[in-house]
Amino acid sequence: MSLARAPIDGTTKLECVSYAPFRGAQTPHDPTLIVAPEQIAEDLAELAKISKCIRTYSIDNGLDKVPELASKVGLKVLLGVWIGRDRAKNSLLIDTAVSLVQDYPGTVAGLIVGSEVLLRGDMTVGDLRDTIRSVKPRVKVPVTYADVWEFWLRHREIGADVDFVTMHFLPYWEDVPPRAEDAAAHVDSIRKQVAAAFPGKEILIGETGWPSHGRMREVALASRINQARFISEILDRARKENYRVNLFEAYDEPWKRRWEGTVGGYWGLLDGSERKPKYPAGVPISNHPLWKLQMAGGMVLCLCIFGAALLAQWRRTSPPPAASWIAIAISATFSGVLAGIGAERVLQESYGPGGWLVQGALLAAGIVAPLLSAHALMAGRTLPSFLEILGPAKLRTPLFMTNMLGIVLMVTTVIAAMIALTLVFDARWRDFPFAVLTMAAVPFWTLAFFNGEKSGARPLAEAVFAGLFALAAVYIVFNEGFHNWQAIWTGAVYLLFGSALWQARTTAVTEVAPAVASHEAAFDRGTDGMRQAAMR
């Protein structure tokens, strides 16, 4: 699916857009960071092509240079002062902001004293009002305060202290989020409620937008098409009804993924690394712009899975059951279709060394699991238990391919358990690993059910993980709601994976079929021969 219309073009500039200069590992949480003026100037030159104005949130980290640099490219600035619990720092920042307003009267179009201070609980309403009133006589530009719309309706008395009301409304983060198709109308409806509560005051939508990547919340799906659709529709409404909108935000900020999950880093109209518009005019918008490359990678993986199965079949002394080929076809189909999506999501969702390690390991497991499972299906082997890999010597398997399969199974199980626990206890920011987990779980399930052991004791570890996955699956679906297909898919995969682990049985190594052991030994000898030939 694609959307033909770009949300912004070169013929009409945006009224305003939120701007933060941080790139790569830069974050405002680093008090020693001073962003180079050259870096800010480069961004503002690009933003001047699409917008009349930028909104800032602080004057720390080198952002005090923004008014000067914006004046050189013809941008107006809604200058933000980030105030909080520290009164001494608040006073220092306000003094700096007042000086900037006085030095650049033709550039600073308004002063925003505080952003979501009440939402965060950093100040009382009385202290906030006193702060705003202390600033107004010192500047000759309009003064406002910015917060989410609920807090404006809850504390209407603040309206007497500001020249205009700056309302934040990110429909994706609403307690009951709307679909992207309905989000612009929803924002406009709330704007009218706020306008009715503050007669005679201009209502600036100080923040609104939609994420292009990240987890789904009920019916609200983060995607490139939905982001472009929402921006186009809210701008159309603003033009028709003559009100100002400040879009959130100019550039993607991937550093936010550490605190807000994947979705926190992808609200920008411009790419965070290339610093160019995500949706150039005249270019169709797709949720998967690299779909051709993704499709090619999936087809290669699919062929490799069948190749692994054929390699094992050639070593058999009897033809495999037709059911084995059906199982392999199922694994190959799921893996081939989801490989590109899984790789794409790993690139978007991984942050920091730990995140890359976990996400990379899960993707690797999703690629290797169907290959090893296809080989095991053709060889007549079942899904190994954990005890066959890590247990007492009498239970361990001597077979190389079985050991590899068991290691991949254990890695997948541990990572899946970690993710399941975060989705239960810290779900708000967490992504659903539906693609890569499906790639691993489906081949494990086909191997367990088509070649499963019928005798032997059920290992405790597998039973515990199976129970954890079943409980987590039920909780995730009920907690996220039945409209969230990502949650439902993830829950279904956890049930599938848990059922595969539940089928595990422990048998002694001496009970391994001689034919299977002979086949595995022959494969290992062939592998050793190829390794030695390569070394020569």
* Residue range 110-123, pLDDT digits in tens: 999 999 999 999 99
pLDDT score recorded for residue 5: 67
If asked whether residues 375 and 522 sit together in one domain, one would say yes
pTM of the model: 0.89
If asked whether residues 254 and 349 sit together in one domain, one would say no
Q: CATH no. for residue 245? A: 3.20.20.80
If asked whether residues 211 and 311 sit together in one domain, one would say no
| Amino acid of residue 17 | V
If asked whether residues 304 and 322 sit together in one domain, one would say yes
Instruction: Return the bridge partners of 245, or none.
Output: 205
Among candidate residues 235, 253, 286, the one where a domain is terminated: 286
Nearest by Cα to 468 from 429, 438, 425, 431: 425
The Cα 428–Cα 259 span in angstroms is 11
Nearest by Cα to 409 from 379, 445, 455, 377: 445
If asked whether residues 234 and 371 sit together in one domain, one would say no
Nearest by Cα to 77 from 44, 28, 36: 44
Among candidate residues 245, 269, 286, the one where a domain is terminated: 286
SS3 221: coil
Number of domains in the chain: 2
Asked whether 140 and 109 are in contact (CB, 8 A), the reply is no
| Ranges of residues in the chain whose predicted pLDDT is under 50 | 508-536
If asked whether residues 377 and 279 sit together in one domain, one would say no
If asked whether residues 402 and 498 sit together in one domain, one would say yes
If asked whether residues 417 and 393 sit together in one domain, one would say yes
pLDDT score recorded for residue 293: 96
pLDDT score recorded for residue 531: 39
pLDDT score recorded for residue 385: 92
Task: Provide the domain limits for residue 10.
Answer: 2-286
The Cα 142–Cα 139 span in angstroms is 8
If asked whether residues 88 and 228 sit together in one domain, one would say yes
